[in-house]
Amino acid sequence: MHWQFVSRLDDIDPCDWNRLAGDRYPFMRHAFLAALEHSGSVGERSGWTPHHLLLRESENGSLLAALPAYLKSHSYGEYVFDWGWADAYHRNGLEYYPKLLTAIPFTPSAGPRLLIDPDVDRAEVLTPVLDALTTELDKRGISGWHLLFPEPDLADVLADRGLLQRYGVQYHWHNRDYQNFDDFLATMSSRKRKNIRKERRLVSDQGIRLKTLRGSDIQAEHWAQFFTFYQMTYAKRSGHGGYLNQAFFTEIARTMPDALMLVLAEYEDQPVGGAFYLVGTDTLFGRYWGCIEAFDQLHFEACYYQGIDYCIEHKLSTFDAGAQGEHKLARGFEPVVTRSCHLIADPRFRAAIDDFLGRETPAIMRYQQDAIESLPYRKDLLEQLK
C-alpha cells in the first residue's frame, strides 16, 4: 500500500472521495470540505492548513482510504478544548502547535472520519494509516494527532491500539416513531408539555411567521439574509464575523443543495432571523442561527422545534443540534457521550494527559447520568434512558 499527504482536496477526484464517503453524513462530502478550502474558510491564513491523508493500492492505484486532516496553529473552532494541554507544553519549553487534527472544521457533529473503500476491510488499512500518521508526526516534529467526534466503533478500535480517549457530552433528540409533535409531547410530564406549548405559542402570538426551505428553493436573497443573521450572532458572542464567509455558503448552495435547509423567520413581512441545517439520510444537523432583534422564544422555535417537526415529518431518527447548551435538556434533547482520540508523540506528556483524562472521564460520565434526570420525560421513559 502507498500513502501520501495532499494539501488540497482538489488533488483528489470527487468521485473517488465520494465513493468512500457516501451521502449519509453531509459534512464528509467532497463538496462540503472543498467549499471550506475554496472560500478560504480553512487554509494557512485561518490556521487550518489542509493535510489530507490518502491510502492507495499503489502509487497510482485505486483509493482505498482517506482521512481529512489539518495542520493547526491554534485550537479555535474545534469544540474539544485542549488549551490547557498547549499551555503545559509551552511552560515546559515545548511547542504544541502545529498539531495534526482530523475533524470537520467548525463542526462538532460525530460521524465518519476515516473513509474506507466499501470492499476493503478496515483492519487492512488501519495499521498503514496509523503508521503514516506516526511517521508524519516524527518527520515534522508535530506534537500529536487528534481525532475529534469519530463514530464509536472507530474510537473503540483506536483505544485498543493505545490512543488516549477523551469524552464529552452533547444533546441529541431521538425520534421514537412519533407521528406528530403532540405525540412527542405526550412522552413528557404535564408541566413540561405546557411549558413547550407556551414557548411555541409566544412566537406565533408576536406575529412571527416561519418557513422551511430546502435545496433549490433557497434563493440567493435567502442566503444573503441568513449570512447577515450568522454574522450578527458571532459579532455578539465573540466580536468577529464568524468562521465561515459568504463564499462558502454560496458554493455549497450550488454544489450540494440537496443537503441544505433554512428556517427563516419573518415579522411584518420582513426577515428577522433564521437557522441553517444540513440533512443526512437519517439525521438532521442544526448548525447556525442568528437574528437582527430579540423576539421571545424565537431561538428555541427556529433552532429546535422546527427541526423536531421536520424530523417527525420526514422520519429522521436523530436531530443533532450542535455542541453545548444545557437548555436543550428541558426541550427533550438527551445527553449523549461523544469521543475524541489522541496520539501524543512525547511519552512524558502522553502520561500526564492520560492521568488528566483518568480524572476527567468519571466526572463526564456522572454528568451525563445526572443530566438524564433533568429531561422532561415521564418517569417510565427516564428509567429506560438511565
Residues in CB range of 247: below 8 A, 6 or more apart: 38, 39, 40, 41
E strand or H helix at 37: helix 30-38
Give the pLDDT confidence of 4-26 residue by residue, as tens digits. Answer: 999 999 999 999 999 999 989 99
Report the 10 Å Cβ neighbour count for 274: 28
Question: If 0-12 CB within 10 Å is exposed, 13-18 middle and 19+ buried, where does residue 302 land?
Answer: buried
CA distance 300 to 303: 5
Average pLDDT, the chain: 95
* 2-169+336-372 and 176-316 have identical folds: yes
- Helix (H) and strand (E) counts for the chain? 13, 15
On the question of pLDDT at 206 being above 90, the answer is yes
For 155, the 3-state DSSP assignment is: helix
| Residue 382 confidence (pLDDT) | 87
| Residue 289 confidence (pLDDT) | 94
| Residue 331 confidence (pLDDT) | 97
The number of C-alpha atoms within 13 Å of 284 and in the hemisphere containing its C-beta is 29
Domain 2-169+336-372, CATH 3.40.630.30 — does that match? yes
CA distance 198 to 245: 36
DSSP class of residue 75? Answer: -
Topology of 176-316 in CATH? Aminopeptidase (3.40.630)
Domain boundaries, the chain: 2-169+336-372, 176-316
Among residues of the chain, what percentage have pLDDT more than 90? 92
On the question of pLDDT at 45 being above 80, the answer is yes
* Helix-strand-coil split of the chain, %, nearest 5: 45, 25, 30
On the question of pLDDT at 106 being above 80, the answer is yes
Tell me the pLDDT band of 60, cut-offs 50, 70 and 90.
Answer: confident
CA distance 264 to 289: 10
Give the pLDDT confidence of 227-270 residue by residue, as tens digits. Answer: 999 998 888 777 777 899 999 999 999 999 999 999 999 999 99
The residue count for the chain: 386
Pairing of strands 144-148, 283-291: unpaired
CA distance 246 to 230: 10
Tell me the pLDDT band of 320, cut-offs 50, 70 and 90.
Answer: very high
Q: Judge if pTM exceeds 0.85.
A: yes
Grid cell of 247 as nine digits? 463564499
Q: What stretches of 92-245 show up as alpha helix (H) in DSSP?
A: 122-140, 152-160, 181-185, 190-205, 220-238
Q: What mean pLDDT comes out for the span 127-149?
A: 97
